[in-house]
Amino acid sequence: MNACPERIVHFMHEYLDGEISREHELELKSHLQSCEACQAHMHELSDVVAFVKGAAHIEAPNDFNHSVIARLPKEKSHEGVSK
Amino acid sequence: MDALVNKRIKQILKGDKDAFAEIVDLYQHRLYQVCYRMLGNRHEAEDIAQEAFVRAFINIHTFDQKRKFSTWLYRIATNLCIDRIRKKKPDYYLDAEVKGTEGLDMYSQIATSDELPEEELMKLELQDRIQYEISRLPDKYRSAIVLKYMEELSLQEISEILDLPLGTVKTRIHRGREALRKQLSRQPHI
């Protein structure tokens, strides 16, 4: 893989960001067809994205809202609080 | 949604706390989630997310209503998270030279000391594993990855939240993905 141009990895990330140009995409695809190491790299990056996206949505605790309101300053005053 | 939020903001500016409670309802889960992913601890996440809302309330007059409110809120919260992360690493700990490591300081030791042995790693449930791997990312990559893949925000929005040029955000996401790739690929071979 050391022989592969550095831009190939850069194209992989452009691809993952959905911002790859037609030209770069063609170069990336033709390179991946001929290079197993880069193909594996691309697969691993796609797996990373799937892995992170697999994170469950997390919800704030039930009393969160009340706790915030309880923490608000008693009297709202622009002058008093801003430094 | 923006029209509703701006209406509520006008009420808050007149001192209406009930209008602020509605704002909290709208954004609490998103803000809590980003804090939890950044800090990896539910108590701290709750504390920091609440603090973010309190700061938003106090500074609501500085919010420019032509902009997106959620971006502003996320920015307050991520700044607080990053401050908290930095405070957790005391200076003496980071600057101390480690004996027998020839000039390596504790910075280079943190990542390795965080690493779980493989048998421990295998016992983790998927969700814990995801949080564990995210927590091992350097914080500047972590914030970008969390906002992109867990909050599902656009690169443009992330650049506004983190107050960084778009190019820097892209670089951080690229490096974050590469760091995760190495973390994930190393494990099975140990």
- The total of structural domains in chain A comes to 1
How far is the C-alpha of B13 from the C-alpha of B159, rounded, in Å?
28
Higher-pLDDT residue of A82 and B28 is: B28
Nearest CB to B21; choose among A61, A65, A78: A65
**A1 assigned to some structural domain:** no
For the stretch B84-130, pLDDT in tens is 998 876 554 555 555 444 444 444 444 444 678 888 888 888 999 99
* DSSP per-residue letters across B80-94: HHHHHHHHTS-HHHH
**A82 assigned to some structural domain:** no
Question: Chain B partners of A78 at a C-beta cutoff of 8 Å?
Answer: 61
**A59 assigned to some structural domain:** yes
Question: Chain A partners of B181 at a C-beta cutoff of 8 Å?
Answer: 41, 44-45, 47-48
Phi then psi for B105, rounded to 5 degrees? -100, -175
The full set of domain ranges for chain B reads 2-87, 124-189
CB-CB under 8 Å, B50 with A68: yes
Higher-pLDDT residue of B99 and B150 is: B150
CB-CB under 8 Å, A64 with B50: yes
Using CA coordinates, name the residue in chain B closest to A45: B181
Question: Chain B partners of A76 at a C-beta cutoff of 8 Å?
Answer: 15, 17, 57
| Mean pLDDT of chain B, nearest integer | 86
**A12 assigned to some structural domain:** yes
| Mean pLDDT of chain A, nearest integer | 89
**A41 assigned to some structural domain:** yes
B124-189: which CATH architecture? Orthogonal Bundle (1.10)
Question: Chain B partners of A53 at a C-beta cutoff of 8 Å?
Answer: 149
Instruction: Quickly name the fold that domain B2-87 has.
Output: Rna Polymerase Sigma Factor; Chain: A (1.10.1740)
Show the domain range for A22.
Answer: 6-71
Least confident of A61-70, B24-33, B123-132: B123-132
- Burial classification of residue B137, based on how many CB atoms lie within 10 Å of its CB (0-12 exposed, 13-18 middle, 19 or more buried): buried
User: By 3-state DSSP, what share of chain B in percent is helix, strand and coil, each rounded to 5?
Assistant: 75, 0, 20
Q: Give residue B55's Cα distance to chain centre.
A: 17
Query: Which DSSP state fits A4?
Result: S
Read off the pLDDT band of A3 (50, 70, 90).
Answer: confident
**A20 assigned to some structural domain:** yes
What crossing angle do the helices spanning B17-39 and B69-87 adopt, rounded to 10°? 50
- Measured between CA atoms, how close is B42 to chain A, in angstroms? 9
CB-CB under 8 Å, A72 with B29: no
Query: Which DSSP state fits B115?
Result: P
How far is the C-alpha of B18 from the C-alpha of B35, rounded, in Å?
24
